[in-house]
Amino acid sequence: MFDTIVPMTTTYVNDAIFWIEIEKINPNPYQPRREFDQVKLKDLSESIRMYGVLQPLVVTRKEVYHEGAGMTVEYELISGERRLRASKLAGLAQVPALIKHGEEDPQLKLEMAIIENLQREDLNAVDRARSFERLAKEFGLKQAQIADKVGKSREYVSNSMRILALPDEMITALEEGKISEGHTRPLLMLTDRPEEQLVLFKEIMMKKLTVREAESLSRRVATEKIRNKGKYLDPQIIEMEKNFTESLGTRVRIEKNKEGGTVTIDFFSPDDLRGLLEKLNNKAVAAAAPAEIVANNVDDRAPADVEKEDNQDLYSLKDFSL
């Protein structure tokens, strides 16, 4: 049974615009977008309900012959996924579509879908990176070729694809909008130092670091790497730095010299500093708890010992405040 389509008044030499039943349009298997903002989709559906679909979708048309059952026509979407979804929400039975003939090339379908989304700025950073990666892996395109096809610079394509080198949890955070694309730059600077990269990522998430603050931290790590290159690092110092970092929830560095050394603790705001002091106070109190229990019993210490310990308490962290 033949499919019925009603042509619109606008026609083209090789392509034509028709009204096509929504249910007969299959989605584009090369659609680069994975997430669609449901609020914006609903807004678009309301607009379509009032004014109709102002820009036709782009589809391919394929005739399928069935033995003993005649012929049916199938359509596959090339571009216009949001308009198709919004039209379904609006309850439309048919939508206007531009039928492209001879556009069965998978690469071309992917290219057109990417280009449309880029022009509308509808792709998030991860979807864009994955789209470029598909063009490179599935169709063997070089970064310069991809750049030419999508109208961007080679550096833009290269930097986009680098995002996929991040660990999965960081890519997911970017997809969900928990970190920005700008935050990926300092994280990528620490690709060869996964532990430092993870610490920076957690600080970005927990402390809501700006891109500039994250970049400053990342550069500091890179500088230390250059400074310590070829220099013997005490495993005990490295372990203590790790323990300090985990305990305080921020980066801690220990510099050792002949007479002692310094401990550097990172913080990003007065509130952050107060939080660190509170943690140190709590740890000092917890450490003193056994001594307090003993103090509740009979004190059999010598007077000289009592005076010595009281003097030491003058320098306890709990006696200091901001």
Would you name the residues annotated as active-site residues? Answer: 81
State residue 300 phi and psi, 5-degree precision.
-110, 20
Q: Are 148 and 115 in contact (CB under 8 A)?
A: no
DSSP string computed for 116-131: HHHHHT---HHHHHHH
Cα–Cα distance measured from residue 9 to residue 19, given in angstroms and rounded to the nearest whole number: 11
Cα–Cα distance measured from residue 232 to residue 302, given in angstroms and rounded to the nearest whole number: 46
Beta strands in the chain (DSSP E): 6-11, 16-21, 25-26, 57-66, 70-79, 94-100, 252-256, 261-265
Q: Are 73 and 24 in contact (CB under 8 A)?
A: yes
Which residues lie closer than 8 Å to 109 by C-beta, 6 or more apart? 28, 29, 30, 60, 76, 78, 103
Cα–Cα distance measured from residue 109 to residue 132, given in angstroms and rounded to the nearest whole number: 13
> What are the C-alpha distances in Å from 247 to residues 201, 205, 282?
17, 17, 12
Cα–Cα distance measured from residue 224 to residue 233, given in angstroms and rounded to the nearest whole number: 12
